[in-house]
Amino acid sequence: MLQDRFMHEAEHDPAALPAVDPDRSGYRPAAPGETVRANRSWWDDEAEDYYDEHGRFLGDDRFVWCPEGVDESRARLLGEVAGRAVLEVGCGAAQCSRWLAAQGARVVGVDLSGRMLAVAARLGRRPEAPGGAALVQADARTLPFRDASFDLACSAFGALPFVADPDQVMREVARVLRPGGRWVFSVTHPVRWAFPDDPGPAGLTAVRSYFDRTPYVEEDRNGTLTYAEHHRTLGDRVRDLVAAGLRLDNLVEPEWPADHHGSWGAWSPLRGRILPGTAIFVTHRPAGPG
């Protein structure tokens, strides 16, 4: 994934792929429906490998916002969570949801992928796992919850980088949040879009326009989309949340800690010292009109 960036080591330049490779990657338009279909099956296929690769860094019952290691137990971007009804969007293996449950929150974790949720359910059955996090399979663009049913909502790289219509996710989260409720989400920092997905020196030279919103895609030999990651500039993200009636309270751009020597895909100490890798938006639904 583009950068993914987050967790996939795909090469972006189709010309650089071996001729025998059955899959192709590059940039082309991808509609909302085909994007979701492709990503559901991609995350299903990758669920176990993703956990094997990143589970140790994430910790089974921790709430880590990003590869820079910002941990909610110290950052407290969500504020008080005990006794609150909390929605986690794109929860994956639900590490964050279990941490929230351990703090006394009533949590629902939503994810598009049944197999990511199967990993979450398995981790939730460990004897030492904090109980109480409910899991629901759903598309974040159409949340199956009543209006104003959550006090807080959060997402650590869930859903938003992967949908063609993140404005729809913003509207849905705003709808299910009670007035005054906080919505905090982390995404790949938009600036990274301009740079190759490489943890080394090659990842320090911009090769694409930051302003080109054409998604990064992977497709099979028949041209069927198998994966998509969609870019939004910082301004796009702000416009999406403002249009949904949300207010921006803070934009956290975590710096790479000096004692953090690990890498995550294209996130590395080398790049982290120079370029932002993650943007964490802290927002809320206003309590009163407007």
Ligand X SMILES: C[S@@+](CC[C@H](N)C(=O)[O-])C[C@H]1O[C@@H](n2cnc3c(N)ncnc32)[C@H](O)[C@@H]1O
CA pair distance 242, 286, nearest whole angstrom: 11
Verify binding: residue 181, ligand X, rule CB under 6 A.
no
Q: How far is the CB of 65 from ligand X (least distance, A)?
A: 9
* Residue (19 or 254) nearer to ligand X, CB: 254
The secondary element (H helix, E strand) that includes residue 252 is strand 247-252
DSSP SS3 for 119: helix
The footprint of ligand X on residues 94-153 (CB under 6 A) is: 96, 111-113, 116, 139-141
Cα atoms in the Cβ-side hemisphere of radius 13 Å centred on 219: 16
The footprint of ligand X on residues 25-44 (CB under 6 A) is: 36, 39, 43
Residue position matching structure tokens 């990511």: 116
Choose among 58, 43, 48: nearest CA to 96.
58
* Residue (256 or 264) nearer to ligand X, CB: 264
Return phi, psi of residue 143, to 5°: -75, 130
- Let me know: does 189 contact 219? Beta carbons within 8 Å: no
Verify binding: residue 3, ligand X, rule CB under 6 A.
no
* Residue (90 or 181) nearer to ligand X, CB: 90
* Residue (92 or 124) nearer to ligand X, CB: 92
The footprint of ligand X on residues 160-179 (CB under 6 A) is: 162-163
Enumerate binding residues for ligand X (CB under 6 A). 6, 36, 39, 43, 58, 90, 92-93, 96, 111-113, 116, 139-141, 156-159, 162-163
